[in-house]
Structure 1
Amino acid sequence: MTTISEQNPSQRPSFMIDAWDFSQHPAEPIHQDFHGRQNSWFHFQRDIADLEQWLIASGIPEPLIDAVIAEDTRPRYERVGEGYLLILRTVNLAEGAEPEDMLSLRVLFYGGNIFSFRKRPIKSVGIVQKRLEEQQGPESLHDFLVMLIEEMNNRIEEFIDVIEEEMEALEDDDEGTTSSRQAQLTKLHRRMLRLTRFLRPQLTALERMAADGSKWFDAELIQWLQNERDSTHRILESLDMLLEQVWMLREHLQQQVAEKMNRNTYWLSMIAGIFLPISFLTGLFGINIGGMPGVEDGNAFWIFVYVLLGIGIIEFLLLRRLRFW
């Protein structure tokens, strides 16, 4: 394997996905001389071994390197000297993936540059990259970051819209059986809990960044950042409301099941009540011992059937008059 020291420094390393210079507008792609730059964005594939050596050569402290390439992280904002570390999560919109398995994007502002790190492709980053290629992208380095946060929130909101549509479908009592609706509801509940797990600390991270942003952001960008913080807050409120709807719908479905069981038990009890005296008489007249009335009468069987039928009709009318149904 070729190490960082053996690579041509003028060539883009294999772990570098993209690089842009924001010293002018529109931003220009960087194809060489990656070290010693200012006001630039570098986007990396974080699970390639040579990346750590490249970051060390760029003067980034090892504790920060460990933070951006760690396998498991949660959203947070942390000020580090003259820069900051921002870890965000967004939905996984890759084909065949579960959106609630949220992807991690680590953003490090250090030495006048923004370094971002991913493990799997993130649609929001791809959208910003396309705008840069079309020369319609952000005007500055921190404008780029705010736009990236905005796109990540937009993707989450799109997924929330899908969840709301699924909830509306589940609330329709004519849509599927109760058991299938309960299974879908459980799956939906699990997805929303995963989202909430990461979005709540992400809101805290954006709040801290907005409060600390005057050092790096101008007034307009701080306002845009606060807007995105509010968007994250609104998304969390929507999720909280949907979780409440889940509990209400779950109770409604459980009540439907209980009512169905009570109704079935009621009708079984009614049938048993009607046939109880009839069963008693048939059991009594089924005794094969001497002295049974009607043994010598040829019409006794039919007389007995008519008596049982009459008893059944009388019980039915009596229960109806007493409003048992």
Structure 2
Amino acid sequence: MTDKQLARPEFMIDSWDFSQHPAQPIHDKFHERQNSWFHFQRNIPGLADWLIDSGIPEPIIDAVLEEDTRPRFDRLNDGFLLILRGVNLAESDQPEDMVSLRILYFKGNLYSFRRRPVKAVQLIQRALEQQQGPQSLPDFMLHLVDEMTNKIEQLQDNIEAEMEALEDDEQGTTSERQSALTQLHRRLLRLTRFVRPQLTALDKLAADSSKWFDADWTQWLLNERDNTHRELENMEMLLEQVWMLREHLQQDLAEKMNRNTYWLSMVAGVFLPISFLTGLFGINIGGMPGVDDNSAFWIFSAALLIIAVVEFLLLRRLRFW
């Protein structure tokens, strides 16, 4: 075997041997390892050939290297394929644009594939380097699911805080709050789009896990499944809150418009007969009464005032306000 075959490939990010405790990094003879974890950058050429050399069938390789995927679980003859989504913590991206992590458990080895960095994996790598990480591949799986679930929960807590701020009537104008609600609604829809199938994938993994792992591991996985289920329920509740607050803001805006329209109608109603009389007496033709009387203007103004007062009292008696 040549030195090139023994060296770590460019597409391999990390590799650890879990057949001993604590787990040890792997630097060579990658195809000969058992009970090991390999982490790959899936968009670098040469990975498919390396996986074929490891004995992984081509249909499975196509599945783990597929470009656009949703969370899912597929049972295989010698293991399983689990695709999860984690919070995107890159500075230039939105957290709800969740990153994909493909996990292949095949013939006793664990393979994970990423395109963009996954914070949960980085935390486990750091713990392994400090010899404080998971003690076995099943333990690694639990740590991974737990960290990804925690990151989703932290993002959800941030969204809840934003929601509470928007519920405060003193925070910005109605249009600003409606715009913020639209953005929040879009973010929640992106999250639920991936968390819902992720819950289904974890359900299926828990149902079939006895084929590869012990009962204690299955129970821990069920706990993580329940946490994901709770987060999904919280997201659905937040979506309902967004709709309720949006309806409240729209109703409040409609009431303001109706109230303003009502008062404009009242003012127009009071001044309508007065405007008619002023228009009538403003015409410039012969025969207009009071043209030669110096007191006619004051008499006419008093008459307009009396008419306005009578209208006001009449509308109030009729309970127009």
Q: TM-score, normalised by structure 1?
A: 0.96
* Separation of aligned partners in 2, 1:128 and 1:204: 24
Residue 133 of structure 2 aligns with which residue? 137
Residue 306 of structure 1 is matched in structure 2 by 302
Structure 1 partner of 2:77: 81
Q: Which residue number corresponds to residue 13 of structure 1?
A: 9
Deviation readout 1:38-71 (Å, 9 max, x if unpaired): 0000000000011111111111111011001110
Cα distance in 2 for residues equivalent to 1:310 and 1:6: 110
* SS of equivalent residue, structure 1 residue 8: helix
What 5-or-longer segments of structure 2 have no aligned partner?
none
Give 1:228 deviation, angstroms.
0.6
Cα distance in 2, alignment partners of residues 29 and 283 from structure 1? 96
Residue in structure 1 matched with residue 146 of structure 2 by the alignment: 150
Matches of 1:158 and 1:318, distance apart in 2: 62
Alpha-carbon shift at residue 167 of structure 1 (Å): 0.9
Deviates more, 1:294-303 or 1:67-76: 294-303
- State how far apart, in whole Å, the 1-side matches of 2:214 and 2:108 are: 15
User: Matched residues, percent identical?
Assistant: 70
Deviation per residue, 1:196-225 (Å, 9 max, x gap): 111111111100100100121122211110
Matched letter for residue 116 of structure 1:
S
Corresponding position of 1:53: 49
The amino acid that maps onto 2:294 is: G
Q: CA RMSD in A?
A: 1.4
> Matches of 1:270 and 1:6 in 2, distance apart?
94
Q: Confirm or deny that 1:211 pairs with 2:217.
A: no
Distance in structure 1 (CA, Å) of the matches to 2:2 and 2:47: 14
2:94 corresponds to 1:65: no
Corresponding residue number in structure 1 for 2:265: 269
Mapping of residues 115-264 of structure 1, within 5 Å: 115-264=111-260
Deviation at 1:290, TM superposition (A): 1.8
Give, in whole Å, the separation in 2 of the partners of 1:25 and 1:292: 112
Q: Which residue of 1 aligns with 2:32?
A: 36
> 2:305, 2:128 → 1: CA distance?
88
- Which amino acid in structure 2 is aligned with residue 44 of structure 1? F
User: Partner letter of residue 37 of structure 2?
Assistant: W
CA distance in 2, matches of 1:271, 1:317: 14
Alpha-carbon distance between aligned partners in 1 of 2:292 and 2:146, rounded to the nearest angstrom = 97
Distance 1:106 1:206 in 2: 13
Q: Secondary structure at the match of 1:146?
A: helix
Quick one: which amino acid aligns to residue 197 of structure 2? P
How far apart, in 1, do the equivalents of 2:58 and 2:130 lie? 36
The secondary structure found in structure 2 opposite 1:115 is strand
Residue correspondences, number: 321
In 1, the alpha carbon distance for the partners of 2:128 and 2:26 equals 12
Q: Does the residue aligned with 1:84 lie in a helix, a strand or coil?
A: strand
Change (3 A) 1:293 1:170: same
Gap runs ≥5 in structure 1 = none
Q: CA deviation at 1:323?
A: 3.0
Residue type at the aligned position of 1:31: H
Measure how far apart 1:7 and its partner are: 7.0
State the AA in 2 paired with 1:38.
Answer: Q
Amino acid at match of 1:314: V
Give the whole-Å Cα distance in 2 for the aligned partners of 1:91 and 1:313: 68
Deviations 1:114-168 (A, max 9, x none): 0000000011111111111111111101110111000000000000101111111
* Mean Cα deviation higher: 285-294 or 311-320: 311-320
One-letter code aligned to 2:138: H
Identify the range of structure 1 (297-306 vs 184-193) with the bigger mean alpha-carbon deviation: 297-306
Moved over 6 A (4+): none
